[in-house]
Structure 1
């Protein structure tokens, strides 16, 4: 039985307000969320699941409302925790850290988590979703690193190089036959 998972990476988000959990979308991020709605509105989506972070939920919220569906929040789908207390890291600090973390999967900063720990928690959640929503189409509001780790678990081409080429937002449709990934297709066009 075929199950489709639509990984929707969140839109552009300001790093000047709130923290990792509460920062929302920029004007461009909200405009791109509208484009996501237009792109996916006729896909026949059965369910919406999101990371607990506001920017991920906000990116899929309009589409969920349009098709009259609630968004279920899964804590396990939150972004890779780079540093403790939901602190926002500047990009010039974050990118070298991400490279180190992908090359050393057990490395983490104090209060953060390793790539291995993040991948294990997120893949457990994704397997649960694929099982629970077997034969359906599910949108997941997600983030770059955790999305890459989930996709990379099933197909090694989704690695750090892939992550660095993704956009905000981005959409990848994963097709599962039972629990086996058979195809991944990028749906977003910059």
Structure 2
């Protein structure tokens, strides 16, 4: 069995790539470092977004681990243009995984990215790797492991949030939420 941790970033001041953590988000990042203090980690891989990197910096410093940046952990772009009905489109994207909006990425495409990042670590024999990502992408990874996960589970995610994924073999993956706000 191999163990992987998936962290949704702490509270941020927006959704852009350069959105930074709020004062509450900074406090959450330190609480996250404390939460992981007794958990062995070998590697940290993060989305390149500022809020993701800021989320994990206190933990990386405490564990003396370098943060590896991976574009595949970037948040999913639902559309390249603002949409008044984005919430409804996002909800639909959990049942129609191939639906795309203008300039956006389908749920399936986004899921493939994060699953590829995970399986790369599995194939390399890496264990106890922590991934820092975003809510929509994390929920799509969870959906890959458990197809019953959908929009309602995405809505319940917190900032931050932490899931552990235990990989036994390709057809047996267990997920568990370990962060309790």
TM-score by length of structure 2 reads 0.91
Matched, 1:35 2:34: no
> Secondary structure in 1 aligned to 2:94?
helix
RMSD (CA atoms)? 1.9
> Secondary structure in 1 aligned to 2:132?
strand
> Secondary structure in 1 aligned to 2:164?
strand
For 2:86 and 2:11, how far apart are their aligned partners in 1?
16
1:9 maps to 8
Matched, 1:111 2:98: no
Q: Which runs of 5+ in 2 are unaligned?
A: none
1:152 maps to 143
Matched, 1:167 2:158: yes
Measured after TM superposition, the shift of residue 179 of structure 1 is 4.0
Measured after TM superposition, the shift of residue 178 of structure 1 is 4.3
TM-score by length of structure 1 reads 0.87
Measured after TM superposition, the shift of residue 83 of structure 1 is 2.3
Contact 1:174–1:181 under 8 Å retained in 2: no
For 1:94 and 1:189, how far apart are their aligned partners in 2?
28
For 2:170 and 2:68, how far apart are their aligned partners in 1?
21
Can you list the C-alpha shifts for 1:126-176, whole angstroms capped at 9, x where unaligned? 111222243x20111011111111121121232211111111110011111
Note closer, same or farther for the CA distance 1:70–1:100 as it changes in structure 2 (3 Å cut): same
Of the three residues 59, 67, 74, the one matched with 1:71 is 67
Question: Deviating runs (4+, > 6 A) in structure 1?
Answer: none
For 1:93 and 1:29, how far apart are their aligned partners in 2?
28
For 1:110 and 1:51, how far apart are their aligned partners in 2?
23
Task: Count residues in correspondence.
Answer: 181
Note closer, same or farther for the CA distance 1:140–1:31 as it changes in structure 2 (3 Å cut): same
Q: Which runs of 5+ in 1 are unaligned?
A: none
Can you list the C-alpha shifts for 1:1-43, whole angstroms capped at 9, x where unaligned? x21111110111112xxx6211111111111111110000110
